[in-house]
Amino acid sequence: MICCVKEYSIEEVMEEQYKMSVETRILFTDLDGTLLNDHKEVTSGNQAAIDEALACGHKIVVCTGRPLASARVCAAKAGLDKEGCYVICFNGGQIYDPYHEKTVYGKTFSKETAAKIIGEAMKRDLHIQSYSDTHILSARDTEELHRYAKINQLPYKVVECAADVVPEDPYKLIAITPAEQKEKNICFQKEVISQYAGEVHSFFSNDCYQEIVPEGISKGFAVRWFCDYLGIPIENSVAAGDAQNDVEMLKAAHVGAVMCNAFPGIAEYGNYVTEHDNNHDGVAEIIHKFILKDA
């Protein structure tokens, strides 16, 4: 018996790869207030939709302001550490492949600049922190530090001085105040962070958190970079979010799906608002409407 093996030309192989990329859709989803419910859990409906999308060959990307150590734990709980799953953390500063356990993109800013910013924050009695691979790092033991560590389920270390908060060039700093003291954080943004324009920029992800990241970094940048990296047309991208640090991501993706529980003013940056909130399978609604629409 003679077996006939069909030989494919380079052009045919490239055409087949192109067809696969065209058919593949990609979801970029925020965690808090989006994929996670108010108890920081993935609902059963969201989990079922994620599993179905992955089984069909689509890509799911966690896209968060959280550090990698925290984002990886959340992704693993949702089964998003399989092949076809990725983690964008630090608001776009680092892109990580959990299945192959490697960083595919990263951008930091200098620890010298970071130490100066931290020093200015300490003069103003403003809590500010950075991260190692495993811990939150802060030069002061504050209530803000304890609250953040509990929410993100991360250990922390209190170090001796501003320079020790950033032993390496950081992906981001975060300055934190209680919501009723947001004006203090806004003044810090205007009077200090603005001095380093061109190297860093900052934005508020909620009323408490000012995120300080390298210039050019955002979730929107990460969406565009990652679609290009995977060879998936931007027309096949969907983003789901609820907060200010999701705005650039919602604008960059072909479908910007805003959670109905989003912060005021966020809906204007998307082109779809969910019927269901983060406690009632809102991400599953998005997956069935835009990712599995032809399934």
Tell me: the pLDDT tens digits for 155-195? Answer: 999 999 999 999 999 999 999 999 999 999 999 999 999 99
Where in the sequence is the domain holding 145, given as residue range(s)? 119-214
Is residue 85 situated within a structural domain? yes
Is residue 92 situated within a structural domain? yes
Using a pLDDT cut of 90, give the percent of the chain over it: 87
10 falls in which pLDDT band (50, 70, 90)? low
**Residues 151 and 197 grouped into a single domain:** yes
Average pLDDT, the chain: 92
Tell me: the pLDDT tens digits for 99-136? Answer: 999 999 999 999 999 999 999 999 999 999 999 999 99
**Residues 61 and 80 grouped into a single domain:** yes
Using a pLDDT cut of 70, give the percent of the chain over it: 92
Is the model more confident about 279 or about 19? 279
196: region left, alpha or beta (phi > 0 left; psi from -120 to 50 alpha): alpha
Report pLDDT for 21: 46
Residue with tokens 């055409």: 15
2 falls in which pLDDT band (50, 70, 90)? very low
The side-by-side arrangement of strands in the sheet containing 272-273 is 102-106, 94-97, 85-89, 59-63, 26-29, 237-241, 255-258, 272-273
Report pLDDT for 13: 40
Look at the chain and report how many structural domains it folds into: 2
Is residue 166 situated within a structural domain? yes
**Residues 188 and 271 grouped into a single domain:** no
Is the model more confident about 5 or about 244? 244
Question: Which pTM does this prediction carry?
Answer: 0.86
Tell me: the pLDDT tens digits for 43-69? Answer: 999 999 999 999 999 999 999 999 999
Is residue 72 situated within a structural domain? yes
**Residues 227 and 210 grouped into a single domain:** no
Mean pLDDT, range 131-150, rounded to an integer: 96
